[in-house]
Chains A and B, each alone.
Chain A
Amino acid sequence: MLTITWGALVVATALSLLTGEFTGFSRLSTVAIILVLALLKVQMVFTKFVEIGPAPLGWRLFLEGWLLVVVGEIAYFYWR
Chain B
Amino acid sequence: VNSAARRLPGHEGLWFFLSADLVLFLLLFGSYSSERSAHALAFAQAKHLLMPNLAALNTLYLLTGSWLAAAAVHAVKRQRVKQAGTCIAGAVVFGVAFIATKMAEYAFVVREGVVLGDGGFFMYYFVITGVHLFHVIGGTGLLLVVWWRLRHETGSATDPLLTQSGASFWHIVDILWLIIFPMFYLLP
Q: Are A55 and B7 in contact (CB under 8 A)?
A: yes
Contacting residue for B36 out of A38, A51, A63, A77, CB 8 A: A77
- Cβ A74 vs Cβ B29 within 8 A: yes
Nearest Cβ distance between residue B84 and chain A, in whole angstroms? 13
Partner of B187 from A31, A41, A69, A80 at Cβ < 8 Å: A31
Please classify how large the interface on chain A is, using the bins under 10, 10 to 19, 20 to 34, 35 or more.
35 or more
Q: Contacting chain A: which of B62-70, B99-107, B143-151?
A: B62-70
- Asked if A62 contacts B63 (CB within 8 A), the reply is no
Q: Given the complex, which residues of B lie within 8 Å of A13, measured CB to CB?
A: 56, 59-60, 63, 181
Contact with A along B2-40 (1 / 0, CB 8 A): 000111110000010001001101100110011011000
Within the complex, what minimum Cβ distance (angstroms) separates B44 from chain A?
10
Asked if residues A49 and B66 are in contact (CB atoms below 8 Å), the reply is: yes
Among B56, B67, B178, residue most surrounded by chain A Cβ atoms (within 10 Å): B178
With both chains docked as a complex, state the minimum distance between the C-beta of A10 and any C-beta of chain B, in angstroms.
Answer: 6
CB distance from B61 to the nearest CB of A (A): 11
A70 in complex: contacting residue of B26, B67, B185, CB < 8 Å: B26
Cβ–Cβ contact B29 & A73, under 8 A: yes
User: In the complex, which residues of chain B have a beta carbon less than 8 angstroms from the beta carbon of A19?
Assistant: 186
- A38-53, CB under 8 A of B: which get 1 and which 0? 1001100110111110
Given A49-B66, A70-B26: A55 in contact with B6 (beta carbons within 8 A):
yes
Q: Are A34 and B186 in touch, CB under 8 angstroms?
A: yes
- 25 A-B pairs within 8 Å (CB atoms) are namely A2-B70, A6-B66, A10-B60, A13-B56, A13-B60, A16-B181, A17-B52, A27-B188, A34-B187, A35-B182, A38-B178, A38-B179, A45-B66, A45-B171, A46-B175, A49-B174, A50-B168, A51-B9, A54-B5, A56-B6, A62-B19, A73-B26, A73-B30, A77-B33, A78-B187
B contact residues vs A (CB 8 Å cutoff): 1, 5-9, 15, 19, 22-23, 25-26, 29-30, 33-34, 36-37, 52-53, 56, 59-60, 63-64, 66-67, 69-71, 74, 167-168, 171-172, 174-175, 178-179, 181-183, 185-188
The 8 closest A-B pairs by CB, nearest first: A20-B186, A77-B33, A6-B67, A77-B37, A49-B70, A55-B8, A73-B30, A50-B171
